[in-house]
Amino acid sequence: MTKKCKRLVVLLACAAIGCVLSGCGSKESITQAMTKISELNYQEALELFETAEEAGENEKLIARGRGIAYMGMTRYDEAEEWFLKALDCSDGIVEDMDYDINLYLAAVYTKQEKYAKAEEIYDAILALEPKEDSVKFLRGIARLKLNKYEEAKADMDQVIAKNPKNYEQIIEIYEAMEAAGHKDGGQGYLTEALQNYEDQMSDYTKGRMYFYMGEYQKAYVALDNAKKEGGVEAYLYLGMAYEATGDYNYASSVYNSYLAKEGDDARIYNQLGLCEMKKGEYTTALNAFQSGLKIEGNTMMQSLLYNEIAAYEYLGDFEQAKVLMNKYLSKYPDDEKAQREAGFLSTR
């Protein structure tokens, strides 16, 4: 599961706890289950939903909660099934929870690459709530996936026009456009933001924007200033800026500097490992990935596990790579890239 997806599940799950506690027809087991979801304990949450069902608790909340749990486990087909069941519990009157469930369902459709279905949901929500800019942003993302660039850009233009100083969202729009093959279009938003508001931006924000624009010298200066504030993200982007210019040794020193000053961080260990892989230092890379894996509850677990397997492959230890790949796929069965890699390992 990606970091962003997991973060979405946790944030919405936490919002759901507030809904449960405010009296949405819920009972004790559902509340406990949603707390488990916020802690990423999805299996325990599902067991509590079983208890809630046996106790005759709110059917709609149980179905919704199960959908969230399966989504967190990346079991998207089952998540879709439960969200649809939750919507079937509605009485025809659109409530806030119905919007919430539909947003979850659209997110699941996106993960399943059913972008047209996601777009349909966003269209329906915006027909009722045309001022929901966050939904317009999500529809723009879906439209990019459907190669509807002009329509997607129209959505993004409206979102930015409403809040031109939402720099985080501008960067997310760039990332989505770059991923869809429209890097120049995405960079246009960054350029405009820098031209209009650079003097109002933090060094960290400027550094990231310059990083994405490929202006690495400017990124170095801004991010080096930003890292003095101690934020891990500034170190990550500064290191990646040096990696982008091929200076892997200095990039490694940036990551190691953070670890020495601030302590363990799974994201730093993962990026350090990837950097060491580029240098051909596979044993050092493996040590970095394994150090990250020792950090309990980190959101980089899937990436670290996959990269650990890759390190063993480069070291020629295919037997250990096979063992770890089997364990990996038992946790993340929908990872198509891992499935292909498992096929390669089976021939070694």
Give the tokens for residue 66.
């199960």
**pLDDT tens, residue by residue, 303-343:** 999 999 999 999 999 999 999 999 999 988 878 899 999 99
Q: Which CATH number among 1.25.40.10, 1.10.3470.10, 3.30.420.10, 1.10.3720.10 corresponds to the domain 1-90+98-112? A: 1.25.40.10
Q: What is the pTM of this model?
A: 0.78
CB 282 within 8 Å of CB 311: yes
* Residue at 111: amino acid letter: K
CATH class of 113-180: mainly alpha
Report CA-CA distances (Å) from 53 to 12, 61, 78.
22, 10, 17
pLDDT digit of tens for each residue in the chain (348 aa)? 444 444 344 344 444 444 444 444 446 899 999 999 998 899 999 999 999 999 999 999 999 999 999 999 989 999 999 999 999 998 777 778 899 999 999 999 999 999 999 999 999 999 989 989 999 999 999 999 999 999 999 999 999 999 999 999 999 999 999 999 999 999 999 999 999 999 999 999 999 999 999 999 999 999 999 988 768 999 999 999 999 999 999 999 999 999 999 999 999 999 999 999 999 999 999 999 999 999 988 889 999 999 999 999 999 999 999 999 999 999 888 788 999 999 999 898
Fold of 274-348: 1.25.40
Q: One fold for both 113-180 and 274-348? A: yes
Contact residues for 23 (Cβ-Cβ < 8 A; gap 6+):
none
Predicted confidence (pLDDT) per residue in 117-154, tens digit: 999 999 999 998 998 999 999 999 999 999 999 999 99
Domain locations in the chain as residue ranges: 1-90+98-112, 113-180, 274-348
User: Is residue 334 within 8 Å of 75, Cβ to Cβ?
Assistant: yes
Q: CA end-to-end span of the chain, whole Å?
A: 27
How would DSSP label each residue in 163-215? -TT-HHHHHHHHHHHHHTT-HHHHHHHHHHHHHHHGGGS-HHHHHHHHHHHT-
